[in-house]
Amino acid sequence: MKTQAILLASRPSGLPTAAQFRFETLDLPTPEAGQVLLKTLYVSVDPYMRGRMNAGKSYVPPFAVGEPLAGGAVAEVVESRNEAFPAGSVVVGNLPWQHYSLADGKSLNRVPTDQAPVSYFLGLLGMPGLTAYFGLLDICQPKAGETVVVSGAAGAVGMVVGQLAKIQGARVVGTAGSDEKVAYLKQLGFDEAINYKTTPDIAQALAAAAPAGIDCYFDNVGGPITDAVYGLLNKHARIALCGQISSYNDAVVPTGPRPEGKLLTTSARLQGFIVSDYFSRWPEGIAKLTEWYGAGQLQFEETITEGFDQIPAAFLGLFSGENTGKAIVKVA
């Protein structure tokens, strides 16, 4: 059996381009005992993958040049030699960017098909939703009446953060990169939303949107938005440092105003994290998110691109802010 695959052709310097990706046809052996043959249904494209395209260490080991890229995916079992994953069942796991792939059961989780669209297990009920859940509720711990700011608020993580903060009774301010996204955030229940691309003075806009100061900051973006937030922190503010998409493509460490002075005088806490830090608590998170979704308290949005050959374009689109919510590629 053969399958098409997308390989890392070369490491990018700065912004990746189509030249970093190569399509190849690979041979796929017959599943051995314990293995399953998977047909990829949906592929997740995520900002963190940019870090894995570099040679240096990031959250997770780098992708190898000449090997398939990989990431979160939903797939259907088409042939099974593993009782836990019968043919026809739907699974989520870390899978190569291929139409078909082999996997043992260790890295797979079966997902129900009756609770939400199965692609949501790459979004609201998957890593982005869990990232929002633990970053907001465990690190930021917003109290009713406090002000929460979320950067990258119209992304898959940010939109869940904002809704969870509203469930906690907080005032919620989001930043995003288009008027459409700002309108969408208001529709989700955000108290204020700022288009950082058209706002002449982000610090002034944030100060107006957070007149009582900022108690919690969930940062997906970094850079000038974050600089402005630091200047508005209340005493004992909590910052969940989740992403820095504004600098993922920088070849050298960017410079900016040193934040330590502001963090010191406000006794603020800043915690970097990755969702795998909370691995043992994922079942709790999925259960709570599923419950809120089922009760109509959480909405979710996907930007779905169609076609296996569009995976690189969907990934590259993350860095021009094209997607609202979770960027997904529908493969089959």
137-176 as b/e: b if 16+ CB within 10 A: bebbebeeebbbbbbbbbbbbbbbbbbbbbbbebbbbbbb
CB of 241 to a second copy, least distance (A): 5
Dist CA 273 CA 59 (whole Å): 9
CA distances to 64, 231, 236, 267, 277 from 261, in Å? 40, 10, 14, 10, 28
Interhelix angle 282-294/127-134, rounded to 10 degrees, is: 100
Determine if 274 is a binding residue for a second copy (CB under 8 A).
yes
Dist CA 312 CA 269 (whole Å): 37
Tokens of 307: 């076609």
Determine if 132 is a binding residue for a second copy (CB under 8 A).
no
CB of 246 to a second copy, least distance (A): 10
CB of 25 to a second copy, least distance (A): 35
The residue among 52 and 166 lying less far from a second copy, judged by its C-beta, is 52
Determine if 269 is a binding residue for a second copy (CB under 8 A).
yes
Determine if 31 is a binding residue for a second copy (CB under 8 A).
no
Interhelix angle 179-188/156-167, rounded to 10 degrees, is: 30
Q: How many CB atoms lie within 10 A of CB 51?
A: 17
Q: How many chain residues interact with a second copy (CB under 8 A)?
A: 36
Determine if 281 is a binding residue for a second copy (CB under 8 A).
no
What binding mask, one character per residue, do residues 205-234 give for a second copy by CB under 8 A, x or -? --------------x--xx--x--------
Chosen residue from 75, 242, 314, 316 binding a second copy by CB under 8 A? 242
CB of 148 to a second copy, least distance (A): 18
CB of 116 to a second copy, least distance (A): 29
Chosen residue from 43, 102, 116, 268 binding a second copy by CB under 8 A? 268
Determine if 257 is a binding residue for a second copy (CB under 8 A).
yes
Dist CA 219 CA 151 (whole Å): 5
Chosen residue from 145, 254, 294, 307 binding a second copy by CB under 8 A? 254
Chosen residue from 234, 266, 297, 310 binding a second copy by CB under 8 A? 266
Dist CA 141 CA 129 (whole Å): 16
Q: Which residues bind a second copy (CB under 8 A)?
A: 51, 57-59, 219, 222-223, 226, 236, 241-244, 247, 253-261, 263-274, 277
